């Protein structure tokens, strides 16, 4: 998908507007979707990271890069298009980590086969061209390298919120226009950022066409043991909001 410069600037502006609230919430550790739902399976999907060279696409203020460094990664590069996110990430930069401002749809400044693992933690839904990102990641991964992607579940990105009864009880999620792949917006931290909705088969077919093997697909739900600690995640037992794709590069490039 080719976008006008005006549209690209608009997408960037949305993250600029969100960044201070996003950084504050992350630094305060207040995001229960990360703490109670996504972090553990993402770390399990990344596996043993000691000694690995890792790229984080859309790293935000660097939270997951720091976690990977703590777990022994030898080098973590975090890329983000939003300057204040990268500035904040640099403030807490552990040794072995590096952060750069970049659009993850073009990684031409990175050498072929130069990373062991790439993560994308809620970033592909922000990209007008997720295939460009996937293709670039494939190129920079060494043979048998892995790409772990957390994303909005396609049912979430097509969803239009809860249908509630008159007494305010949540009856079911409204799911419509699933097969219309286009921009969707909903309110987050006072801004309505753009999410690009795509069907499940578009993602999976895209990964396969680029050349990846699919190792696993994880549709996240709440571990019932966590429901006391994270009561605000109880809806996750009813409908899927997030998904993790675990891919590997099977190629035998020279």
Q: Is 154 in the site for ligand SAM (CB under 6 A)?
A: no
Least spacing, CB of residue 114 vs ligand SAM, in Å: 18
Choose, by CB under 6 A, the member of 36, 49, 53, 58 that binds ligand SAM. Answer: 58
123 or 157: CB nearest ligand SAM = 123
Instruction: Based on the shown chain and the rule CB under 6 A, indicate whether residue 86 belongs to the binding site for ligand SAM.
Output: no
User: Measured from the CB atom, is 153 or 224 closer to ligand SAM?
Assistant: 153
In 9-106, DSSP assigns E strands to 53-57, 75-80, 97-101
Residue 147 in contact with ligand SAM, rule: CB under 6 A = no
Number of residues that bind ligand SAM (CB under 6 A): 20
- Specify the stretch interacting with ligand SAM by CB under 6 A; choose among 67-75, 123-131, 179-187, 205-213: 123-131
Beta strand 97-101 pairing with 75-80: parallel
To ligand SAM, the closest distance from the beta carbon of 105 in angstroms equals: 6
Q: Does 127 bind ligand SAM (CB under 6 A)?
A: yes
Phi-psi region of 113 (alpha: psi -120 to 50; beta: other; left: phi over 0): left
Contact letters (x/-) for ligand SAM, 4-43, by CB under 6 A? Answer: -----------x----------x-----------------
Out of 75, 97, 123, 241, point to the residue binding ligand SAM (CB under 6 A). 123
Q: Is 60 in the site for ligand SAM (CB under 6 A)?
A: yes
- Mapped to the 3 state alphabet, what secondary structure does the chain carry? CCCCHHHHHHHHHHHHHHHHHHHHHHHCCCCHHHHHHHHHHHHHHHCCCCCCEEEEECCCCCHHHHHHHHCCCCEEEEEECCHHHHHHHHHCCCCCEEEEECCCCCCCCCCCCCEEEEEEECCHHHCCCHHHHHHHHHHHEEEEEEEEEEEECHHHHHEEEEEECCCCCEEEEEECCCCCCCEEECCECCECCEEECCCHHHHHHHHHHHCCEEEEEEECCCCHHHCCCCHHHHHHHCCCCEEEEEEECCCCCC
Restricting to residues 88-117, name those near ligand SAM by CB under 6 A.
Answer: 103-105
Position 82 contacts ligand SAM (CB under 6 A):
yes
Q: Rounded to whole angstroms, how far apart are CA atoms 5 and 3?
A: 6
Asked whether position 59 contacts ligand SAM by CB under 6 A, the answer is yes
Are the C-beta atoms of residues 247 and 216 closer than 8 Å to each other?
A: no
Closer to ligand SAM by Cβ: residue 71 or 170: 71
Residue of closest CB approach to ligand SAM: 60
**Closest approach of Cβ 169 to ligand SAM, in Å?**
30
The site for ligand SAM (CB under 6 A) is made up of 15, 26, 58-60, 63-64, 79-82, 85, 103-105, 121-123, 126-127
């Amino acid at each position: 998908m080719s976008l006008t410069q005006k549209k690209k600037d608009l997408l960037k502006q949305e993250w600029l507007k969100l960044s201070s609230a996003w950084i504050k919430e992350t630094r305060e550790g207040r995001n229960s979707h990360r703490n109670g739902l996504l972090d553990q399976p993402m770390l399990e999907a990344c596996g043993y990271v000691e000694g690995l060279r890792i790229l984080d696409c859309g790293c935000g203020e660097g939270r997951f890069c720091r976690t990977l460094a703590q777990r022994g990664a030898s080098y973590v590069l975090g890329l983000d298009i939003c300057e204040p996110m990268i500035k904040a990430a640099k403030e807490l930069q552990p040794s072995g980590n590096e952060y750069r401002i970049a659009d993850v749809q073009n990684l031409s400044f990175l050498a072929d086969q130069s990373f062991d693992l790439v993560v994308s933690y809620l970033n592909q839904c922000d990209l007008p061209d997720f295939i460009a990102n996937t293709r670039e990641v494939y190129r920079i991964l060494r043979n048998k390298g892995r790409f772990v992607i957390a994303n909005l579940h396609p049912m979430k990105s097509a969803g239009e919120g809860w249908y509630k009864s008159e007494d305010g009880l949540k009856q079911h999620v409204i799911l419509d226009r699933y097969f219309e792949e286009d921009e969707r917006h909903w309110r987050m931290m006072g801004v309505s950022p753009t999410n690009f909705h795509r069907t499940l088969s578009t993602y999976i077919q895209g990964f396969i066409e680029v050349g990846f093997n699919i190792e696993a697909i994880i549709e996240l739900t709440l571990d019932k043991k966590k429901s006391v600690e994270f009561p605000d995640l109880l809806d996750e037992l009813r409908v899927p909001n997030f998904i993790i794709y675990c891919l590997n590069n099977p190629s035998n490039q020279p």
